[in-house]
């Protein structure tokens, strides 16, 4: 349904037609690869809606977690994944990353994944799961607290200091295992370490016996847009082995994903 159809109604589609739903969807569809962030005026222009209606719809979507805004500029959030695979298919990043994750998983015979940050959680958007990690129940759309995971710490490290401070103000640490980080100060130190070295290693903080290493995926502007990782069982590796053998391969995979991402934007 074209964006202009939001202005239509029952005459065009029948007595079942709910115009408010059509308008909300037209607002969401107005965000594209070329218009990832928009002002209220731009959304109103793209949808053919008046500013007051567009504003109400944007703020409602923001209340529901599907749109984020800073008071002036609006953009979609990863929570739109909850609407189904249609969101994933509209994103180039998971599709571009998938073959590289498959290569990484095959070479290491371990689980490889890609995740994005949504509030205080990570959301899996691409995954190649190894049979060696069957005990860990993850899939596309799975969510975990960001601070307990290697991908989450990479994504948190990619935020500005101001955005990170805002998240820390809302942070409520919960112990998942005996090794889960126990204080905001300790977590901030870990995030600073990730920023310095460019990758993260988390050991048995999400689940006992699960070790994960991750690196950031950046767009052409240098902004961290996702994180790629490998998850392994602690019984098969040591932290030193992961740093020596796994991290370089993750970093190589990230560079390949970034190269494809820049190429897709250029096209």
Report CA dihedral (39, 42, 43, 49) to the nearest 10 degrees.
130
Residues of the chain with CATH 1.10.10.10: 3-76
Thinking of the domain 85-266, which architecture would CATH place it in?
A: 2-Layer Sandwich (3.30)
pLDDT confidence of residue 135: 54
CA 193 to mean position of chain CA atoms = 21
Element (H, E) at 88: helix 85-90
Rounded Cα distance, 18 and 22, in Å: 7
Segment 20-67, tens digit of pLDDT: 999 999 999 999 877 889 999 999 999 999 999 999 999 999 999 999
**What is the full per-residue pLDDT of the chain (267 aa) written as tens digits?**
444 445 455 566 678 889 899 999 999 999 987 788 999 999 999 999 999 999 999 999 999 999 999 988 999 988 876 775 454 444 578 889 999 999 999 999 999 999 999 888 999 999 998 876 555 578 888 899 999 999 999 999 999 999 999 888 888 888 888 899 989 999 999 999 999 999 999 998 898 889 999 999 998 889 999 999 999 988 888 999 999 999 999 999 999 999 988 765 444
Rounded Cα distance, 164 and 168, in Å: 6
Residue in this structure with the two tokens 């239509």, named with its chain if needed = 8
Cα atoms in the 13 Å half-sphere on the side-chain side of 121? 11
Predicted structure pTM score: 0.67
- For the chain, the first-to-last Cα distance in angstroms comes to 26
CA 15 to mean position of chain CA atoms = 38
3-76: CATH topology: Arc Repressor Mutant, subunit A (1.10.10)
Residues 66 and 79 sit within 8 Å (Cβ to Cβ): yes
Residues of the chain with CATH 3.30.450.40: 85-266
């Amino acid at each position: 349904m074209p964006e202009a159809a939001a202005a239509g109604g029952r005459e065009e589609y029948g007595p079942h037609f709910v115009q408010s739903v059509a308008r909300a969807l037209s607002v969401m569809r107005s965000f594209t690869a070329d218009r990832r962030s928009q002002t209220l005026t731009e959304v109103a222009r793209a949808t053919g809606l008046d500013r007051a209606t567009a504003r109400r719809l944007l703020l409602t979507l923001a209340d529901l977690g599907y749109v984020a805004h800073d008071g002036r500029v609006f953009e979609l959030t990863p929570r739109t994944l909850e609407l189904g695979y249609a969101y994933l298919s509209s994103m180039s990043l998971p599709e571009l990353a998938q073959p590289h994750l498959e290569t990484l998983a095959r070479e290491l015979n371990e689980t490889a994944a890609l995740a994005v940050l949504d509030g205080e959680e990570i959301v899996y958007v691409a995954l190649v799961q190894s049979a060696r990690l069957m005990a860990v129940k993850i899939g596309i759309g799975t969510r975990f607290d960001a601070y307990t995971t290697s991908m989450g710490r990479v994504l948190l490290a990619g935020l500005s200091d101001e955005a990170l401070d805002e998240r820390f103000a809302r942070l409520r640490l919960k112990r998942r295992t005996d090794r889960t980080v126990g204080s905001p100060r300790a977590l901030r130190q870990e995030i600073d370490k990730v920023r310095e070295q460019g990758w993260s290693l988390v050991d048995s903080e999400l689940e006992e016996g699960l070790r994960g290493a991750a690196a950031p995926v950046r767009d052409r502007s240098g902004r961290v847009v996702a994180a790629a990782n490998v998850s392994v069982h602690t019984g098969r590796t040591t932290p030193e082995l992961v740093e020596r053998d796994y991290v370089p391969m993750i970093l190589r995979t990230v560079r390949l994903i970034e190269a494809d991402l820049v190429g897709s934007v250029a096209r």
